[in-house]
């Protein structure tokens, strides 16, 4: 049964990449909204988890408001997928016009410093589109890490897809990725990491919307070990065809404490920046998984 499920999953993603990219953009956008609304109405586990997460982001929201936010969230999430399926067909001009971040001077100045740059993002908007903008509009290659997916053929699809967009992709498993990322940074390169959900269960504990969770220590540890600059970047959609974003100033490195203590403080600062952007644009935070420790403990036998 598991093998059949994996084969079906891989086939559906393959169909998406093969078919959606051929559709006119307005048609693809409308299809995404229809799929999102259908999934939302079914009230499956992902939608219910999204609403539970949004209840922490907007604690005074009524059930009706949470339902509105979760529907908008599913539409935003499907917009991400529709765009991602189509990104390989976008021209350099379309990619450059598809993202309009504010304060991009922070990134340009950091790259010009030659110290290496780490961009840390939450699961907001379309991080693949932001990556394409970096490679095509700025002409800067970068390295990232991808979670190993099941089935393996699906993971291979994602790696091939992101590499076709100009990214170097490393598998998340094992310690080899950290060493490679460190080498890229010491050479003055750019590393981009999605950093609001810990996949290792050994991340740094932070306070996030008033409750404890864990976030990856990697971005802060890489910055401390290599001297690279760590910049948060947040993303969101508006009613236009262009994704919006904010490049935040590089995080300060604490002057005292052990490396672990410094990494903890920097990760908490990163969490605070993410929380501010998510509070402003909750519908564009695509967190359909358990995140807070209290929710993760519910699954512990």
Give pLDDT tens digits for 208-217: 999 999 999 9
Instruction: Find out whether 30 and 174 touch, Cβ atoms under 8 Å.
Output: no
Highest mean pLDDT among 21-25, 128-132, 265-269: 265-269
- Write down the pTM of the prediction: 0.92
Q: What is the pLDDT of residue 193?
A: 96
Over 90: is that where the pLDDT of 84 sits?
no
Q: What is the pLDDT of residue 148?
A: 64
Instruction: Find out whether 112 and 253 touch, Cβ atoms under 8 Å.
Output: no
Over 80: is that where the pLDDT of 79 sits?
yes
Give pLDDT tens digits for 28-66: 889 999 999 999 999 999 999 999 999 999 999 999 999
Give pLDDT tens digits for 177-206: 899 999 999 999 999 999 999 977 679 999
Q: What is the pLDDT of residue 157?
A: 74
Mean pLDDT value across the chain = 90
Instruction: Give burial (CB, 10 Å; 0-12/13-18/19+) of 137.
Output: middle
Backbone angles phi, psi at 166, to 5 degrees: 100, 15
Q: What is the pLDDT of residue 10?
A: 57
Q: What is the pLDDT of residue 13?
A: 66
Place of tokens 């050479």: 187
């Amino acid at each position: 049964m598991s093998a059949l499920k994996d084969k079906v999953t891989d086939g559906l993603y393959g169909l998406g990449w093969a078919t959606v990219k051929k559709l006119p953009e307005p048609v693809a956008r409308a299809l995404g909204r229809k799929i999102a609304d259908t999934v939302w109405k079914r009230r499956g586990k992902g939608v219910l988890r999204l609403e539970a997460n949004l209840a922490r982001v907007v604690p005074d929201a009524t059930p009706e408001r949470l339902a509105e936010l979760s529907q908008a969230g599913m539409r935003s999430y499907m917009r991400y997928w529709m765009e991602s399926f189509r990104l390989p067909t976008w021209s350099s001009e379309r990619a450059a016009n598809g993202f309009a971040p504010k304060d991009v001077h922070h990134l340009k100045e950091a790259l010009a410093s030659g110290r290496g740059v780490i961009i840390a993002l939450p699961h907001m908007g379309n991080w693949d589109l932001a990556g394409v903008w970096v490679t095509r509009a700025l002409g800067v290659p970068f390295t990232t890490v991808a979670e190993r997916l099941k089935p393996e053929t699906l993971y291979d699809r994602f790696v091939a897809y992101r590499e076709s967009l100009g990214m170097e992709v490393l598998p998340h498993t094992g310690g080899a990725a950290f060493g490679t990322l460190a080498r890229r940074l010491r050479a003055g390169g750019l590393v981009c990491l999605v950093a609001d959900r810990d996949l290792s269960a050994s991340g740094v504990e932070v306070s996030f919307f008033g409750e404890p969770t864990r976030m990856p220590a990697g971005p802060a540890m890489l910055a401390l070990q290599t001297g690279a600059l760590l910049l948060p970047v947040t993303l969101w959609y508006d009613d236009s065809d262009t994704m919006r974003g904010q490049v935040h100033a590089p995080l300060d490195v604490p002057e005292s404490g052990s490396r672990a203590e410094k990494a903890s403080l920097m990760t908490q600062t990163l969490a605070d920046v993410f929380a501010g952007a998510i509070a402003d644009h909750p519908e564009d935070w695509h967190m359909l998984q358990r995140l807070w420790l209290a929710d993760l403990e519910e699954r512990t036998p």
